Chain A
Amino acid sequence: MNVRSLRRSEGSSQTWPKTGLILAAILLNVALLMMGDTFAWLREYPETWVWGIAGATTTAVKYFVNDLAIRGVSVAEMTRGFANLIKVPMLALQGVLSEGFEFYGDNGEATIYRGLPWPAVMAGLTAFAWWAAGRKVALFSLFSLVYFLVFGLWQSSMLTLSSVVVAVFVSFVLGILLGILGYRNARANAILMPIYDVMQTIPTFSYLVPVLLLFGFNPVAAMIATVIYAMPPMARVTTLALQRVPPNIADFGDMAGCTKRQKMWQVMLPAARQNLLIGLNQVIMLTFAMVIIASVIGAGGLGGEVYQGLKALRIGDAVEVGIAITLMAIMLDRISKAIALSRPDHVDAAPGAVWQRHPLTFAWIAIALLLVLLGQIFPSLYAYPKAATISTGSFWNDAITWIGDTYYTQIKALRDTTITYIMRPMKSFLLDVPWTGFIAVIAAISYAIGGRGLAIMSASLLGFIAVTGYWDGAMVSLYLVLLSVIVALIIALPVGIWAGLNPRVDHVVTAIIDTLQTLPSFVYLIPVVMLFSVGEFAGLVAIVAYSLPPGVRYTKQGIQNVARSSIEAGDMAGCTRWQKLTNVQLPLAIPDIMLGVNQTIMFAFGMLVITALVGTRGLEHDTLVAISKVQPGEGIVAGLGIAFLSIITDRLISQGSRNFQRRSGMSQR
């Protein structure tokens, strides 16, 4: 036996050196903390060493936008020209739906063309919902539209709707084109995928600033930010859907003598249409969430109303608009999901004229024309009279006051206890850990889980955060996310298991989490601020609420996906229900549960960003401040910090989960 093989046989219990490495890294921390001031720079990254890339980026972006000119036209002028171009379809749609059009002649006189009367829009949207999703969804849509109208939110909601429609269209088209590129060209795909990763994990506020600089403070900028956010999933879904087209269908395309283009557009994409439409549903929901968030840079619409309400602490108004957003989210989700899942049967070609084959469309045209004519006599058909709107704002305000008065002590006790005994200690602990020691521990864990590559990636991403001077902010963000995830899992796992075991509970739980997941993250802030005012505790509650659904969903599915034969084997072995759960169902559900844990963390990072609006103080705060100070560099670097934290956690957990499955011999799902 030579030396090499001897060494290998010694290392057969490979876990030991890895565990040793992690222990050593932890000891390094202790040593650094005890050493006093000798190696202070190893504990606290010295401010004088900070790499000023954030500031430099800001200068560069500002130079690029304002001073760089090609043939005397500055970049800002070009991009704003482009913005004006995109504005056209958006304004057109908005004009038709509610606002109308104004054109100014040479003499400054305005010619006004009015849009459609609100009852016509209402009838049209309801008819569309009926055609796409049936009577129930149509009634729900009608109810929502009436809600918008009587609460005086008609114009805001139509603005939001137009932004969503145009942004979805752009994201959909771009996503499909990029998705095709990724499908056809493996090298392009290898480049695009990590870019999508960063685009999806970097906090929204980060790219709001450059977009703001390039396109100005207006709805179009918001729309472009929205496309950046919502397009990557569509591109991903497209590539995936094309890869999943049965190989025989692809072969058929060739055998029918298709050219490359014919094969793509007439065979592959139509064959993938179901998955593409499911992707479209996602894009719609992401777009909607982003349109609401983009109110921070002037998207207006429903998001703007909530933002104004929250800022001025007019909670009652914010609640009203929050309900409107919820209604619109559910409406968009139900309609697009119905379209994605529908599998229509054939229709026998009915003889007859066009209007006999499309009665709904023509009935609507007739009604709309009639309403336009009637509108000349009754102006209230165009502008819903203010006097007829209602507001429940004061009711909500009263309710909040009442809650505050009645439960003041309980709420305060809960909040103060949590802050004093859990939040503050954890936060100062993370802030006290030496940055070098922290990186060493994470690198050691990464090495143990994923080998050298993962260790280098974790260490360099964390190193980037340290040298750019955002370490403390990152620790504050991390503590809030970690704590929220722990709380969320403590709630989600038992609920998920219960729902997985009990169909009746499942029914209720699924209905609730389905609805919760359609809501834009922004909406979660409203009740939280209502009950807990602003601050890190409010942020914690919001993150927990937002990241609960995926944890519950995956745990539940994990339990339900356990093969029946395994359960029957457990029964026949004479297991009690508890033994069956702990020995059969839970172990087999672990891969799904791990996926749920991972999703919970990703959702927590997603919500963390938004909680900056209620006064949390980590990196998310820096990205928000960057908007008001118009510092794109600072916003991007701080945002990258959050993206890196979430990418590291994601890689560690998914790799760890894969290792676990391999060790326990479970095949990957």
Chain B
Amino acid sequence: MTQETETPTGEVLISCRSVWKLYGAKAEGIAAKYGQNISDEIIAKNGLISAARDVTFDVRKGEIFVIMGLSGSGKSTILRCMTGLIEPTMGQLLVSGTDLKTATRQQLIDLRRKVMGMVFQDFALLPHLTVLDNVAFPLKVQGKSKVERHAKAREMVDLVGLEGREAYLPHELSGGQQQRVGIARSLTTEPEIWFLDEPFSALDPLIRAEMQDEFLRLQNLLQKSIVFVTHDFDEAIRLADRIAIMADGRVVQIGTPEELITNPADDYVAKFTEKVPRSKVVTVQSVMGPVRQNLSGPPIKAADLVGDVAEQAMSGPDAMPVAGKDGTIIGALDRAAVTAVLLNKSASA
């Protein structure tokens, strides 16, 4: 797949502004007293635990926004704040134009029925329902007729490649198949925003890779706006348009995979990025030199990944022309730069 290098523009669907989630008996009172001026000392002194601290970001229409962090970093807390499952202690959350803080119960229910879909880590299938009824369940609670919801559910089951298994019960399926059901179920209501909470963490590595491909295939087809939570950095760079890295409840850095790798904000981020093969993330554009004379051979696209053009670059001349989006030559790719990327040298060219 190709990575978007430019900062995504477009309509903001989820806006997270200075969101805090504090746990503890005195959480509400302390938050009311100090507001956004709350400090680590105050939190510690009052025996509070902070699951999310001053989290701010936007999720835009059509992008895959990955929240990556180790366990306890607050990534699931933030996801649950965005879905209204957890009420933040402070801060503002706008989801598709609705302010979650002031939303009534009914508004929240409507939002979940129409706008949101969610996939869970351990699948969370209802054990007593067949595959078809599980997928149809979100429509059932909306009061749709059996014929209507089964027709839609069948469509979704086909979409995730489980045709023929409609009558199976969850315990008869493998983990990967169960998560396919979970995915189909989260899509039956045709939600605008798709939340995935560590959807593939419970699967073994081979199935995980397969499901990641499946996920990208579906996204190509459906073009949802996605919030994807994971603890696996490789998964994050593989799927994300943008990644937010979280640690101790804070967002450490937000950026495209390439930005994170070429320009990590701190040692914590660098620790994740140093093992990643750069050739699979770094684009030609970010390692090319200025245009010069005597460039020969067919031009290489600036947006391509270095890894994808490496073979061509290594067997060709010392420097190759690089073409921008409109086909004009905008730079030159030196063989040395490609070698550096392939050898995973950390300094960007």
A positions within 8 Å CB-CB of B: 246, 248-249, 251-252, 254-259, 262, 266-267, 270-271, 273-274, 343-349
Q: Is B26 an interface residue (CB 8 A)?
A: no
A271–B169 touching, CB < 8 Å: no
Beyond A258-B141, A346-B167, 6 additional contacts (C-beta under 8 Å) are: A251-B85, A254-B83, A257-B141, A270-B127, A271-B126, A273-B127
| Residues 118-166 of B contacting A (Cβ, < 8 Å) | 118, 120-122, 124, 126-130, 137-138, 140-142
A252–B109 touching, CB < 8 Å: no
Q: List 24 A-B contacts (CB under 8 A).
A: A248-B121, A248-B124, A251-B80, A251-B124, A252-B118, A252-B120, A254-B85, A254-B112, A255-B85, A255-B117, A255-B195, A257-B109, A257-B110, A257-B112, A257-B141, A262-B141, A270-B126, A271-B128, A273-B128, A274-B127, A344-B169, A346-B169, A347-B167, A349-B167
A345–B169 touching, CB < 8 Å: yes
Chain B min CB distance to A341 (Å): 13
Cα separation A274 to B126 with both chains bound (whole Å): 12
Chain A min CB distance to B195 (Å): 8
Residues of B within 8 A of A246 (CB): 122, 124
B171–A259 touching, CB < 8 Å: no
Chain B min CB distance to A570 (Å): 34
Chain A min CB distance to B117 (Å): 8
With A252-B120, A348-B167 known as contacts, the answer to whether A259 contacts B141 (CB < 8 A) is yes
Cα separation A256 to B128 with both chains bound (whole Å): 16
A257–B167 touching, CB < 8 Å: no
Q: Is B116 an interface residue (CB 8 A)?
A: yes
Chain A min CB distance to B279 (Å): 37
Q: Is B168 an interface residue (CB 8 A)?
A: yes
Partner of B109, one of A259, A274, A349: A259
Chain A min CB distance to B181 (Å): 12
Cα separation A347 to B80 with both chains bound (whole Å): 37
A255–B110 touching, CB < 8 Å: no
With A257-B109, A257-B141, A346-B168 known as contacts, the answer to whether A248 contacts B85 (CB < 8 A) is no
Residues of A within 8 A of B280 (CB): none
Cα separation A251 to B77 with both chains bound (whole Å): 13
Residues of B within 8 A of A254 (CB): 83-85, 112
Cα separation A257 to B84 with both chains bound (whole Å): 11
Residues of A within 8 A of B169 (CB): 344-346
Q: Is B335 an interface residue (CB 8 A)?
A: no
Chain A min CB distance to B112 (Å): 4
Residues of B within 8 A of A262 (CB): 141
Residues of B within 8 A of A266 (CB): 137, 140-141
Chain B min CB distance to A55 (Å): 48
Residues of A within 8 A of B17 (CB): none
Chain B min CB distance to A342 (Å): 12
Cα separation A177 to B110 with both chains bound (whole Å): 28
B118–A255 touching, CB < 8 Å: yes
A-B interface, 6 closest residue pairs, ranked by CB to CB distance from nearest: A257-B113, A248-B124, A257-B112, A252-B124, A256-B138, A255-B118
Partner of A249, one of B116, B126, B167: B126
Chain A min CB distance to B14 (Å): 15
Q: Is B172 an interface residue (CB 8 A)?
A: yes
Residues of A within 8 A of B126 (CB): 249, 252, 267, 270-271
B85–A256 touching, CB < 8 Å: no
Residues of A within 8 A of B140 (CB): 266
Cα separation A246 to B202 with both chains bound (whole Å): 15
Cα separation A255 to B120 with both chains bound (whole Å): 10
Cα separation A431 to B222 with both chains bound (whole Å): 82
Chain B min CB distance to A398 (Å): 55
Cα separation A257 to B113 with both chains bound (whole Å): 5
Residues of A within 8 A of B171 (CB): 343
Residues of B within 8 A of A274 (CB): 127
Contact with A along B183-222 (1 / 0, CB 8 A): 0000001000001010000000000000000000000000
Partner of B128, one of A257, A258, A270, A347: A270
Chain B min CB distance to A246 (Å): 7
Residues of B within 8 A of A348 (CB): 167
With CB as the reference atom, state the residue of chain B lying closest to A252: B124
Cα separation A257 to B141 with both chains bound (whole Å): 7
B172–A346 touching, CB < 8 Å: yes
Residues of A within 8 A of B118 (CB): 251-252, 255
Cα separation A252 to B118 with both chains bound (whole Å): 8
Cα separation A127 to B172 with both chains bound (whole Å): 27
With CB as the reference atom, state the residue of chain B lying closest to A249: B124
Chain A min CB distance to B180 (Å): 16
B116–A255 touching, CB < 8 Å: yes
Cα separation A238 to B316 with both chains bound (whole Å): 72
Cα separation A266 to B141 with both chains bound (whole Å): 9
Chain B min CB distance to A250 (Å): 9
With CB as the reference atom, state the residue of chain A lying closest to B129: A270
Chain A min CB distance to B39 (Å): 31
Residues of A within 8 A of B109 (CB): 257-259
Most buried by A among B127, B172, B197: B127
Chain A min CB distance to B96 (Å): 14
Chain A min CB distance to B138 (Å): 4
Chain B min CB distance to A262 (Å): 5
A345–B172 touching, CB < 8 Å: yes
B120–A248 touching, CB < 8 Å: yes
Chain A min CB distance to B188 (Å): 9
Cα separation A255 to B185 with both chains bound (whole Å): 11
Chain A min CB distance to B111 (Å): 8
B121–A257 touching, CB < 8 Å: no
Residues of B within 8 A of A347 (CB): 167
With A257-B141, A257-B142, A349-B167 known as contacts, the answer to whether A271 contacts B127 (CB < 8 A) is yes
B112–A255 touching, CB < 8 Å: yes
Chain B min CB distance to A33 (Å): 51
Most buried by A among B80, B116, B126: B126
Residues of B within 8 A of A256 (CB): 112-113, 137-138, 141
With CB as the reference atom, state the residue of chain A lying closest to B122: A248
Chain A min CB distance to B76 (Å): 10
B112–A251 touching, CB < 8 Å: no
Residues of B within 8 A of A249 (CB): 124, 126
Cα separation A251 to B167 with both chains bound (whole Å): 25
Partner of B130, one of A248, A255, A343, A346: A346
Residues of B within 8 A of A273 (CB): 127-128
With CB as the reference atom, state the residue of chain A lying closest to B143: A262
Partner of B120, one of A251, A271, A344, A345: A251
Cα separation A255 to B117 with both chains bound (whole Å): 7
Residues of B within 8 A of A346 (CB): 130, 167-169, 172
Chain A min CB distance to B244 (Å): 21
A255–B83 touching, CB < 8 Å: yes
Cα separation A418 to B285 with both chains bound (whole Å): 97
Cα separation A462 to B142 with both chains bound (whole Å): 58
Residues of A within 8 A of B113 (CB): 256-257
Most buried by B among A252, A259, A270, A348: A252
Cα separation A88 to B185 with both chains bound (whole Å): 46
Cα separation A349 to B113 with both chains bound (whole Å): 30
| Residues 71-89 of B contacting A (Cβ, < 8 Å) | 80, 83-85
With CB as the reference atom, state the residue of chain B lying closest to A347: B167
Chain B min CB distance to A665 (Å): 25
Residues of B within 8 A of A251 (CB): 80, 85, 118, 120, 124
Residues of A within 8 A of B167 (CB): 346-349
Chain B min CB distance to A350 (Å): 11
Residues of A within 8 A of B142 (CB): 257
Residues of B within 8 A of A255 (CB): 83, 85, 112, 116-118, 195
Cα separation A411 to B147 with both chains bound (whole Å): 75
With CB as the reference atom, state the residue of chain B lying closest to A254: B85
Cα separation A650 to B167 with both chains bound (whole Å): 49
Most buried by A among B118, B195, B197: B118
With CB as the reference atom, state the residue of chain B lying closest to A260: B105
Residues of A within 8 A of B189 (CB): 257
